[in-house]
């Protein structure tokens, strides 16, 4: 048996994948706990609302809970959609008999619209389930239904939270997504209020309540205090909203893996660029392709929009005593020059996420042509005088790509060169899907370089 906590969600299934057990399982996975589930109802649901609710037979719900708990060490569970008094009664009995620590998300309506809790079930929720719960996490509307207090401000939220614990819950957290962004935590045992501050975030919120309660259960299962869990859950949900993706025509679902994927993509871009830079300086003969201003290689994350999203060398590759050295380290935002060229290329083809600059020579262009690389160019003298110093090469790269596209070829050429202008060294730039791919092309060019002693005429590119 591993040390990974096993957490169970007892809730309804959202066919749209944004809320319910789907949101819970994604949250558990993102937080490093093993998620298990017992489905209480199947909903026909999408981002625009709930089209139908179909409760599972009580014996099926019970069988799922028994199957998981008889095999795994489940200590924490969270409930979501429990649509009827009968289902609530069953779940309360299962929780009590198995000694589960319970987080209750008193789901009453879908974010996109549609009731998920029958009115006659509210009494059962208060009288049968809350007495066995450790934490209950209502939003302001659910807090009003449970407490009878109209929640309009923080003071009302505190009164409602305290009232809700009178039904037996140890802790009530009134979430502030529909009020002032701050969450109100009330611990009944110590009669203590804690305000967890937050900010309203732009993005989809479908599944935010489910995700929050799942976070609370996951963090508590890992040994966090209730305040630690509430603080971490708040931050997690805010990031999930920021990273939400519009997948339908209604309220977009939160994205539990958005921050994780961003971190993974940043790490991948950094590692790829480090390996590529090492590949270049380890290649015998590469020094012949290093420009006077130095060489840089860069790779962007898939969703890059700023130079800060592009990994590059914070100095450059230079030649010392006819040997190439990496003068600096690889970091995000390391190369403004090559980084901006990569971002420009991505505007035309998001798959082209890397580039390197090389010294210009017709010999190198001939090799590129022999290798089957596509080539385009621009004239630095054509760059508008009002273009900023940092934007001249971006403008030139964009022009070369547009010119290349007019030929009916692929969106971004493999090679873009210019023969220089006043104050500008002539340069060749290689583009590719990754820094390593670009470096491999450079190695091929270097290996061919010494075998070509001269040109048999001007290369037509």
Question: Distance between CA 14 and CA 280 in Å, rounded?
Answer: 50
Distance from the first to the final alpha carbon of the chain:
64
Phi-psi region of 244 (alpha: psi -120 to 50; beta: other; left: phi over 0): beta
Question: Distance between CA 311 and CA 283 in Å, rounded?
Answer: 21
Residue 85 tokens read as 């008094």
Q: Hunting for tokens 């009944």 — which residue is that? A: 188
Q: Other CB atoms closer than 10 Å to residue 329's CB: what's the count?
A: 12
pLDDT for position 181: 82
Q: Other CB atoms closer than 10 Å to residue 122's CB: what's the count?
A: 17
| Contact status, residue 325 vs residue 319, Cβ threshold 8 Å | yes
pLDDT for position 460: 43
pLDDT digit string (tens) for the chain, length 461 residues: 568 999 999 999 999 999 999 999 999 999 999 999 999 999 999 999 899 999 999 999 999 999 999 999 999 999 999 999 999 999 999 999 999 999 999 988 655 445 567 777 889 999 999 999 999 999 999 999 999 999 999 999 999 999 999 999 999 999 986 677 899 999 999 999 999 998 889 999 999 999 999 999 999 999 999 999 999 999 999 999 999 989 999 999 999 999 999 999 999 999 999 999 999 999 999 999 999 999 999 999 999 999 999 999 999 999 998 899 999 999 999 999 999 999 999 999 999 999 999 999 999 999 999 999 999 999 877 666 655 545 567 888 999 999 888 766 668 999 999 987 766 889 999 999 999 999 999 999 999 987 765 444 444 44
The model carries a pTM of: 0.84
Question: Distance between CA 104 and CA 167 in Å, rounded?
Answer: 13
List the domain boundaries for the chain.
6-255, 261-449
Class of the CATH domain delimited by 261-449: alpha beta
CATH of domain 6-255: 3.40.1190.20
pLDDT for position 241: 95
Residue 448 tokens read as 């061919």
Task: Give Cα separations from 351 to 85, 412, 417, 435 (angstroms).
Answer: 53, 10, 20, 12
| Contact status, residue 177 vs residue 160, Cβ threshold 8 Å | no
pLDDT for position 381: 73
pLDDT for position 455: 44
Question: Distance between CA 201 and CA 26 in Å, rounded?
Answer: 20
């Amino acid at each position: 048996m591993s040390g990974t906590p096993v957490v169970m969600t007892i809730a309804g299934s959202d066919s749209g994948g944004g809320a319910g057990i789907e949101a819970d399982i994604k949250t558990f996975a993102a937080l490093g706990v093993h998620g298990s589930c017992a489905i209480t109802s199947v909903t026909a649901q999408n981002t625009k609302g709930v089209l139908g609710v179909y409760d599972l037979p009580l014996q099926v719900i019970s069988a799922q809970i028994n199957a998981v708990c008889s095999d795994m060490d489940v200590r924490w569970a969270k409930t979501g959609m429990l649509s009827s008094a009968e289902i609530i009664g069953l779940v309360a009995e299962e929780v009590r008999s198995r000694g589960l620590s319970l987080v209750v998300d008193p789901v009453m309506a879908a974010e996109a619209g549609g009731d998920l809790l029958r009115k006659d079930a509210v009494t059962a929720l208060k009288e049968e389930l809350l007495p066995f719960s450790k934490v209950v996490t209502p939003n302001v509307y659910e807090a009003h239904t449970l407490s009878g207090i109209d929640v309009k401000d923080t003071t009302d939220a505190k009164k409602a939270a305290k009232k809700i614990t009178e039904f037996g819950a140890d802790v009530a957290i009134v979430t502030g997504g529909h009020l002032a962004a701050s969450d109100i935590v009330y611990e009944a045992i110590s009669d203590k209020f804690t305000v967890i501050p937050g900010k309203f975030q732009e993005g989809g919120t479908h599944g935010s309540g489910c995700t929050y309660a799942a976070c609370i259960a996951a963090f508590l299962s890992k040994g966090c205090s209730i305040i630690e869990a509430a603080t971490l859950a708040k931050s997690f949900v805010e990031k999930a909203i920021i990273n939400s993706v519009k997948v339908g025509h209604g309220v977009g679902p939160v994205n539990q893996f958005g921050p994780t994927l961003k971190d993974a993509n940043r790490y991948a871009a950094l590692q790829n660029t480090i390996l590529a830079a090492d590949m270049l300086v380890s290649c015998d003969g590469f020094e012949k392709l290093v420009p006077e201003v130095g060489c840089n290689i860069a790779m962007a994350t898939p969703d890059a929009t700023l130079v800060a999203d592009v990994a590059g060398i914070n100095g450059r590759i230079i030649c010392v005593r006819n040997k190439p050295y990496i003068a600096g380290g690889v970091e995000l935002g390391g190369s403004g020059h090559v980084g901006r060229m990569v971002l420009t290329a991505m505007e035309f083809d998001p798959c082209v996420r890397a580039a390197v600059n090389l010294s210009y020579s017709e010999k190198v262009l001939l090799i590129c042509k022999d290798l089957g690389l596509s080539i385009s160019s621009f004239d630095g003298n054509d760059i508008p005088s009002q273009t900023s110093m940092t934007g001249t090469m971006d403008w030139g790269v964009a022009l070369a790509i547009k010119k290349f596209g007019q030929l009916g070829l692929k969106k971004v050429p493999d090679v873009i060169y210019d023969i220089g202008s006043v104050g500008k060294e002539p340069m060749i730039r290689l583009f590719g899907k990754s820094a390593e791919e670009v470096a491999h092309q450079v190695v091929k060019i270097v290996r061919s370089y010494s075998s070509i002693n001269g040109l048999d005429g001007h290369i037509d590119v």
